[in-house]
A and B are shown apart, each in its own frame.
Chain A
Amino acid sequence: MSIVVYIAVMALTTYLIRMIPFTAFRKKIRSRFFRSLLYYVPYAVLSAMTIPAIFYATGDPVTAAVGTVVAIVLAYLDQPLIIVALAASAAAFLAGLIF
């Protein structure tokens, strides 16, 4: 299948998700269960996307593991997104020089 078709489908889906409620919805969702579900979805998605994929992101599980640990420690210390992202990469790069 052509990659352009994938990209078009992906873009259209993402756009409709934003556009329909922004244009049509005026009321707040009342169901506590549904609101809770939507509240947890982003965290669950990001967690499932990160592990185990992160261990294969550098081509070497050892450097990836070093970067992962650095990212978790810095995130635990409430560092900004850019710092965590750059430090994880820097740690993996340095680990690659050593191991």
Chain B
Amino acid sequence: MDKAKKEKQLNFRTGLIDGIPIALGYLSVSFGFGILCMRLGLTILQAVGISATNVTSAGQVAGVGIIAAAGTLIEMILTQFVINVRYSLMAISLSQKLDGTFTTPKRLLLSFGITDEIFAVAYSQKSLINTRYMAGLEVISIAGWVLGTLLGASAGSILPESLINAMGLMLYGMFIAIVVPPARKNRGILCASLIAIVCSLVFYYLLPQITSGFSIILCALTASVLCALLFPVKEEEEDEEAVS
């Protein structure tokens, strides 16, 4: 395994190959996003347009929620910022692993596709990464993301309603699969998750006049600030999570 990794060539083709599992995972999840868009009354073109221009599952789900509720643009910007600000951290980490092929125009282009999964795969490479490898990873992953959205949005009018309804759980199932395993091992993450849930329940049932976007921002910040104070992260902890 280690030998193979040392000799591994990083080029467009190996980027595509490493991106296949990401693309397959995205396909099923963005299928769920496509269905969600249909349930909220968006068109197929709008659903596909959102996926092609954003490439971020949690941000998109919150975003279409704001669109459906006719929220404000400020709410949209703040929500996207809070949900996606983790990409800034990933972008900073990744910027230390780039070789000389990453000129400014190429950074402007390839920063578009920094997602949790692409970051994890790129960051876990032994050597510095080049633009061709990064492009391969991004091309196939984004293709999977957009295609899945198209299929999900189209299926909305073909599949029986009982099936479509059940598929509404797919994205949330993925969110659960991201949070539960680390929450099991890390008290800080468990704390952040539980505080956010309690807060979210309070807003939903007791303060329904607060829209979902603001509820997410307030709950996420409250939970993160409290847990950052109670359970400050050690350097090694972060790195473990980043590549797992």
Interface residues of A (CB under 8 A from B): 1, 3, 5-11, 13-15, 17-23, 25-29, 32-33, 35-54, 57-60, 63-64, 67-68, 71-72, 74-76, 78-90, 92-93, 96-97
> Which residue of chain A lies nearest to B113 when distances are taken between CB atoms in the complex?
A18
Give B134 Cβ to nearest chain A Cβ, in Å.
11
Say yes or no: B166 contacts A92, CB within 8 Å.
Answer: yes
Say yes or no: A41 contacts B170, CB within 8 Å.
Answer: no
Residues of B contacting A88 with CB < 8 Å? 169-170, 172-173, 176
Interface residues of B (CB under 8 A from A): 24-25, 28-29, 32, 42, 46, 49-50, 53-56, 58-63, 66-67, 70, 73, 76-77, 80-89, 91-96, 104, 107-108, 110-112, 114, 116, 162-163, 165-184, 188-189, 192-197, 199-201, 204-205, 212, 215-216, 219-221, 223-225, 227-229, 231-233, 237-238, 241
Say yes or no: A35 contacts B28, CB within 8 Å.
Answer: no
Say yes or no: A81 contacts B224, CB within 8 Å.
Answer: no
Say yes or no: B80 contacts A92, CB within 8 Å.
Answer: no
5 closest A-B pairs by beta carbon, nearest first, are: A88-B173, A93-B166, A75-B180, A11-B53, A36-B228
Residues of B contacting A57 with CB < 8 Å? 168-169, 172
Give A13 Cβ to nearest chain B Cβ, in Å.
4
Decide: A85 near B200, CB < 8 A? Known: A14-B84, A45-B58, A75-B181.
no
Say yes or no: B223 contacts A44, CB within 8 Å.
Answer: yes
> Which residue of chain A lies nearest to B176 when distances are taken between CB atoms in the complex?
A71
What separation, in Å, do the CA atoms of A3 and B184 have in the docked complex? 40
> Which residue of chain B lies nearest to A64 when distances are taken between CB atoms in the complex?
B169
Give B200 Cβ to nearest chain A Cβ, in Å.
4
Which of B42, B204, B220 sits near A44, CB closer than 8 Å?
A: B220
Given contacts A18-B112, A40-B224, A48-B223, 15 further A-B contacts (CB under 8 A): A14-B80, A17-B80, A21-B91, A28-B96, A29-B92, A35-B233, A38-B85, A41-B82, A44-B196, A44-B227, A46-B193, A47-B179, A57-B168, A68-B172, A75-B179
What separation, in Å, do the CA atoms of A79 and B170 have in the docked complex? 14
Residues of B contacting A25 with CB < 8 Å? 91-92, 95
6 A-B contacts (beta carbon < 8 Å): A15-B112, A33-B229, A47-B223, A48-B223, A81-B174, A87-B173
Give B227 Cβ to nearest chain A Cβ, in Å.
5
Which of A10, A13, A22, A48 sits near B200, CB closer than 8 Å?
A: A48
Decide: A58 near B169, CB < 8 A? Known: A10-B63, A21-B92, A85-B32.
yes
Which of B176, B220, B232, B241 sits near A48, CB closer than 8 Å?
A: B220
Give A63 Cβ to nearest chain B Cβ, in Å.
7
Give A39 Cβ to nearest chain B Cβ, in Å.
5
Which of B108, B189, B225 sits near A43, CB closer than 8 Å?
A: B189
Decide: A14 near B54, CB < 8 A? Known: A45-B83, A54-B172, A72-B176.
yes
Say yes or no: A7 contacts B46, CB within 8 Å.
Answer: yes
What separation, in Å, do the CA atoms of A28 and B197 have in the docked complex? 31
Residues of A contacting B91 with CB < 8 Å? 18-19, 21-22, 25
Residues of A contacting B176 with CB < 8 Å? 50, 68, 71-72, 75, 84, 88
Residues of A contacting B197 with CB < 8 Å? 47-48, 50-51
